[in-house]
Structure 1
Amino acid sequence: MKTLLLIGMGAGDPEHITVQAINGLNRVDVFFVLDKGQATDDLVRLRLEICERYIREPRYRVVQVSDPKRDSATTSYTQGVEHWHEQRALLFARLIDNELADGECGAFLLWGEPGLYDSTLRILDRVRANGCTDFDYQVIPGISSVQALAARHRIPLNDIGQPIRITTGRRLTAQDLDNVVVMLDAHCAFEAFVDENVDIYWGAYIGTANEILIAGKLSEVCEQIKGARSAARARMGWVMDTYLLRRRAD
């Protein structure tokens, strides 16, 4: 039987790796790395750095392949993601068939936490549904950008006895502004709420050498965040940010 490990690699700091993840890394024969292009070379390098840092007997090999591109021009976001997942499922099935021998262990090092806004689990379910069943897989949880954001700003995510909500920039509404964590916000959705009485705790590249942290009343720091985000994109070619919005008591 072939085995796959989905290993949460944390939010950017190599020391986010858990002991369970280190033990998993040392079981792996083949690491699968999805190359998203030059803009995300840093993410590929971090994966390789983690392997070099924590694997005691480096007998593994790395298989790096181009990640299928999601069609952002499609009129339906859901249909675009559906097609992208299908293309990824076909790629994963080929990798399992061609690059992993029976009895070997393969792995994907996944940014943050595999169970939080990551598509890999759904795609592996699709691979199985398409008939590729000669493998098993395990999930090793990681530190998410949500946890890292709270730690770096030194804040609890919730008020006493209150819930929190985690959503995307695409789904953010005015009804969500009590303790809402926002991920995958490509268009600064928070800007629509500058007239609301809310604080924002924002972070980009959390846990890396390029980390940026900004906090304050949204109306006062909105432009600062947008400027920092624009400058970071120009420098890095990509932006990975997370933020918490919380209504102010005054």
Structure 2
Amino acid sequence: MITLSLIGIGAGNPGHLTLQAIDAMRAADVILIPRKGPEKDDLAGLRRAICEAHLGMEARLVEFDLPQRDAANPDYRAGVDDWHDAVARCWEAALRAALPKGGHAGFLVWGDPALYDSTMRIAERLETRMEIRREVIAGVSAISALTAGHGVPLNTIGGPVTITTGRNLRAHGWPEGAETLVVMLDGNCAFQEIDPKGIYIWWSAYAGMAQEIRLAGPLDEIGAQIARTRQAARARHGWIMDIYLMRRVCS
């Protein structure tokens, strides 16, 4: 039997970890560190730094390579399912090699494992392949890092919040009746494809990290600047994680 702790670690700042997350890391026999290729080696490096900050040099880290998703597959959901199957096989191989007699493994999850993250779905696939006991540790989400960084409330008084993706915003536009919109997983600045009149945007890249970038203002005034800044940051670092909140401020 392997206990697998899916540990939310916040948005890349070692200070984001909760005491519960630190306790779970310390209880683990090994910490799994996925590698997503040389362009995203910073992400593995940040996980290593978090382990060093909270566990010291004695932590046993098990690193393994992740397969790439076939972004060219026209069937998005089928492509994601195939990719998750491949990732589950990589996890299984890493766990069997690291803990052949069972034990406790920790997997560090950016932000919160329940919010636009597939770690729990991949872990469910593992449960059909091997004896796994799964536990989930909540983490500081990218949304929390975004709103804290800008010093802005997520919602208006008694108002609803809609959380969606760049893919959905491009395909369907501003959701009917939405007042406040949080957009995640937007690789192509979908905010440029909606009517900007009366919309205020708060945008953060690398939220919570040392290299965090924040821009905010009326969408019709600042949208192009955000797109340019995003492109430059991705070129400089080789990867980018960004998120933004938009709110209708007038009719």
Task: Please give the TM-score of this superposition, normalised by the length of structure 1.
Answer: 0.94
Instruction: Find the counterpart in structure 1 of residue 184 from structure 2.
Output: 183
Q: CA deviation at 1:101?
A: 3.8
Aligned CA distance change for structure 1 residues 147 and 4 (closer, same or farther; 3 Å) = same
Do the aligned partners of 2:64 and 2:94 also contact (CA within 8 Å) in 1? no
3-state SS of paired residue (2:6): strand
Query: Are positions 1:66 and 2:65 aligned together?
Result: yes
Q: CA deviation at 1:28?
A: 1.5
Instruction: Find the counterpart in structure 1 of residue 6 from structure 2.
Output: 6
Aligned CA distance change for structure 1 residues 50 and 195 (closer, same or farther; 3 Å) = closer
Q: Deviations over 1:14-49 (max 9, x none)?
A: 100111111111112111111001121111111111
Do the aligned partners of 2:52 and 2:59 also contact (CA within 8 Å) in 1? no
Q: Give 1:63-142 correspondences, 5 Å limit.
A: 63-129=62-128, 131-132=129-130, 134-142=131-139
Instruction: Return the letter of the residue paired with 2:155.
Output: N
Q: CA deviation at 1:151?
A: 0.6
Q: CA deviation at 1:54?
A: 0.9
Q: Distance in 2 between matches of 1:189 and 1:92?
A: 33
Structure 2 residue runs of 5 or longer lacking an equivalent are none
Instruction: Return the letter of the residue paired with 2:68.
Output: K
Instruction: Return the letter of the residue paired with 2:22.
Output: I
Instruction: Find the counterpart in structure 2 of residue 168 from structure 1.
Output: 165
Instruction: Find the counterpart in structure 1 of residue 52 from structure 2.
Output: 52
Q: Distance in 2 between matches of 1:194 and 1:44?
A: 38
Aligned CA distance change for structure 1 residues 196 and 174 (closer, same or farther; 3 Å) = farther
3-state SS of paired residue (2:175): helix
Q: Distance in 2 between matches of 1:21 and 1:233?
A: 30
Q: CA deviation at 1:93?
A: 1.8
Q: Distance in 1 between matches of 2:73 and 2:6?
A: 30
When structure 1 is superposed on structure 2, of 72-81 and 47-56 the one drifting more is 47-56
Task: Please give the TM-score of this superposition, normalised by the length of structure 2.
Answer: 0.94
Do the aligned partners of 2:8 and 2:139 also contact (CA within 8 Å) in 1? yes
Q: Distance in 2 between matches of 1:26 and 1:205?
A: 26
Structure 1 residue runs of 5 or longer lacking an equivalent are none
When structure 1 is superposed on structure 2, of 110-119 and 173-182 the one drifting more is 173-182
Q: Distance in 2 between matches of 1:20 and 1:156?
A: 26
- RMSD over aligned CA atoms reads 1.4
Q: CA deviation at 1:194?
A: 4.3
Instruction: Return the letter of the residue paired with 1:31.
Output: I
Q: Distance in 1 between matches of 2:39 and 2:232?
A: 15
Q: Distance in 1 between matches of 2:94 and 2:64?
A: 9
What percent identity do the matched residue pairs reach?
45
Instruction: Return the letter of the residue paired with 1:32.
Output: L
